Amino acid sequence: MKSPQVLTRRRAGVLAHPTSLPGTQLQGTIGGDARRFVDWCVEAKIGVWQVLPLGPTHEDRSPYQCQSVLAGNPELIDRSEPMAPDWPTNPALPVATWLREARLAFEEGANDATRNAFANYVQAQAGWLDDYALFRALRAAHNGLAWWDWEPPLAARNACALSSARARYAARIVDEQFGQFLFDYQWQLLRRHAQDNDIELFGDAPIFVAQDSADVWAARHWFKLSEEGQPYVVAGVPPDYFSATGQRWGNPLYDWQAMREDGYGWWLRRLEHELSRVDLLRIDHFRGFESYWEIPAEEETALVGKWCPGPGAQFLEAVRKRFGVVPVVAEDLGIITDAVIALRDEFSLPGMKVLQFAFGGDASNPYLPHNHSPNAVSYSGTHDNDTTSGWASDADAQVLKHACQYLDCEPDGLPAAILRANFASVASLAIAPMQDFLGLGSEHRMNTPGVAEGNWRWRFQWEDVPPELATNIASMMDTYGRC
């Protein structure tokens, strides 16, 4: 039985993580400036706002290696939106200090309805929130050490050790619960504002989770780990467009047999949680459901490894039974086999078409616009690509010649031509990063795969957005029927 398609309208989208938004804090937030960004999308006739994963990051700030796939990043909370009198607004306070001050102000001055909302949230989310808050408290108590470097009873989740820790770190645990309450409160305000303006929120879910996460610490039995909690095989991809030695991500791999015997409950709960926040969800590295690259943990690169079967159609059928439709966009970039395509199409999942990958070959390249299909998402580029202006300025001669010939433009007009070709595509959804709308160069790219430093920091300010830009984008959306 074919699944119904999730892309039912011809729409345009923008890719911009909340950290990239303007504001007075050290990074963008999900508060007032996020709602203003929704308003800008309305003016530009953009109907979809795509974000990256929203979880609390590690020191490298990568949203694809979060401390939890269910929690929200407390750094994204807009501190200028008070929940009680004497609310702290200092944007420079460390998040833990700010959460403590905010919670104390909340306990002192919030009204009864808001207090009850917090209590109800903690109770409703206890299935994941209790472990997450304790994980964060213990990680702070151990000066940021990974959980496997804690005392063995805590790492192994000995019941007596956990009970003692909950009592010892009770205040910090409540701080972390409060942070998740605030994140959820502000995110749902943002979502309602988007819904009121017919803007869909498009989320992102990495297929794998970070080893140093509450997810793995609280449920080691779902992963291929040794008795000490160390992975003996890790995730990644073999050599591809992005890296000659492949990408060794280092994430622990799932024990799919154990998950299958449980009816994929862990994944279904995760998807249900994600879909309480967004209207559509991209699964990063979708091909891992068909087969995944298993790298021996002792290997330093991804050159040595093997393909292993994933859960395949059985898993996606469980998703379809739970949700009625599989509300997922498949990130199907890189080495894609006929089996991956068949799995994607069996469940009517839209794939991704990235125009930066389209040129330099022949007319059969699937990323060329004439090969697109309606059940797809077309991109000028993604968070892992250079900006389109940067890509065009650095493209080799063959690629540049082909692109200009195909798009009938001169090299200096290539970025604008790619943007127009993207939105002219027959793909039901076409998305461009905010950097491409702004015409920015390589120094503004969000991430360089395989490079550890300097990523995930790009940000714009409102004064960087020309007043006429939204009008010009809206005209393009009118032209290509994406309103």
CA distance 68 to 181: 15
User: Which ranges of 46-111 does DSSP label H, i.e. alpha helix?
Assistant: 95-109
> 194 to each of 187, 191, 198, how far by Cα in Å?
10, 5, 6
Catalytic residue among 131, 284, 290, 386: 284
- What's the pLDDT score for residue 242? 66
Active site annotation includes 384: yes
Strand partners, 50: 15, 202
Catalytic residue, chosen from 78, 384, 386, 436, is 384
φ, ψ (nearest 5 deg) of residue 198: 55, 40
Three state DSSP letters for 177-223: HHHHHHHHHHHHHHHHHHHHCCCEEEEEEECCCCCCCHHHHHCHHHE
Candidate list 331, 332, 386, 436, residue with the active-site label: 331
CA 61 to chain CA centroid, Å, is 12
- What are the pLDDT digits (tens) for 203-256? 999 999 999 999 999 999 999 999 889 999 999 999 877 678 988 999 999 999
Q: Is 33 a catalytic residue?
A: no
In whole angstroms, give the CA distance from residue 469 to residue 225: 51
Supply the pLDDT for residue 244: 86
- DSSP letter at 331? -
Catalytic: 410? no
Give the residue from 363, 445, 369 showing the smallest Cα distance to 402.
Answer: 363
Q: Report the Cα 345 to chain-centroid distance in Å.
A: 23
Give the pairing of strands 291-296 and 429-433.
unpaired
Q: CB neighbours of 351 closer than 8 A, spacing ≥ 6?
A: 329, 330, 332, 341, 344, 376, 377
- Check residue 323 and give its pLDDT: 94
What is the DSSP pairing of strand 48-50 with strand 11-15?
parallel
Kindly give the parts of the chain with pLDDT less than 50. Answer: none
pTM, entire model:
0.97
Q: Identity (one letter) of the amino acid at 458?
A: W
pLDDT (0 to 100) of residue 23: 96
pLDDT of residue 1: 60
pLDDT at 361: 95
Half-sphere exposure of 181 (CA within 13 A, CB side): 24
Residues near 148 by Cβ (< 8 Å), separated by ≥ 6?
A: 155, 228, 229, 230
- pLDDT recorded at residue 2: 67
Question: How many Å apart are CA 421 and CA 452, to the nearest integer?
Answer: 33
